[in-house]
Amino acid sequence: MNPYAKYLGDCDPRAVIAETPRKLTALAGSLGPAGLVRTPAPGKWSAAQILCHLADCEVVFAYRLRQAIAEPHHVIQPFDQDIWAAAYDKADAAEALAVFAAVRRWNVALFDRMSSADLQKRLNHPERGDSTRTYNGVEGWIKSPRSLLGEYQLTGSELEGAKLDAVLSFPPAIKTALTNFVVGVPDTLDDRAVYGSKDVWVVQGRGQKGLLATFYFDRNDYLLLREVRYSSSPIGRVPTQIDYSDYRSVAGGVKIPFKYTFSWLDGRDQFQLNDVKTNVAIDASKFARP
């Protein structure tokens, strides 16, 4: 769960990471010495202090990244950025930028050497913990340390959306969640970070309690690439986008997406499956309240 991922848009994360030192150097140069130490408002950091923070964060990230690769289920060590920032007004912005650029280049070099197994390593952030989504056919729950409530029960169109997400694993059952299907004009999805550019068929259906869902199917193999569902709220329709990729064949030749991403107004969750087994008994408690 990365609260900043939404700012990437369709950009390639690796390209953005590699390009950041150059852009920061150009921005620092355009501000000049006076602009670097100017604060936008009382209590806010100056550009120079932000550069010091970025240098510290890059050093921390370098350690976290290597520990995540080296040990299973690495637990990240948090730090208090405000305590670290207490001495930033005495630090040199140019030195901070040089440290950031050097460590960032070293981290990018590691990215280039990482295997697919390295990229799938799991880790835990103690301030974020595990996020859990459950739906048992009647009730649905979301538990996330980063949410305002921590844990809450799904109701209304949110619950209908969870039902839709569940029945998509069993395509013949989709008509139990949606009706009034309409087919839109052929379109193109452009998402370089997920699946590139794809020509798609567009299908839309309506569910109970105001649920509206649009599906985008690959025109070549008819696999579902994206679902955008809208829930009703006091301020209007609220979208949730789910992208499906990394399709692999499982038992009987059925193709299952091993990677899927939930995106909403202020965040994004990304899930990567390592293995899928069919017709396996699962304890009903797995689908109960987290």
Which helix (DSSP H) or strand (DSSP E) does residue 260 occupy? strand 255-264
The three-class DSSP label of residue 21 is: helix
Average pLDDT in the 3-31 region?
A: 85
What does pTM read for this prediction?
0.60
Average pLDDT in the 88-105 region?
A: 95
Give the confidence band of 1 by pLDDT, cuts at 50, 70, 90.
Answer: very low
For residue 187, count other CB atoms closer than 10 A to its CB: 12
Q: What is the DSSP string of 24-83?
A: HHHHHHHHHHHHHH--SSTTPPPHHHHHHHHHHHHHHHHHHHHHHHHSTTEEP----HHH
Range with the lowest mean pLDDT among 110-119, 153-162, 258-267?
258-267
> Token pair of 169, please?
């694993």
Range with the lowest mean pLDDT among 98-107, 133-142, 264-273?
264-273
Closest CA to 45 of 6, 85, 98, 75: 85
In this structure, is the dihedral angle defined by the CA atoms of residues 216, 218, 221 and 227, taken in order, positive or negative? negative
Q: What is the pLDDT of residues 52-82, one digit of tens each?
A: 999 999 999 999 999 989 988 788 888 889 9
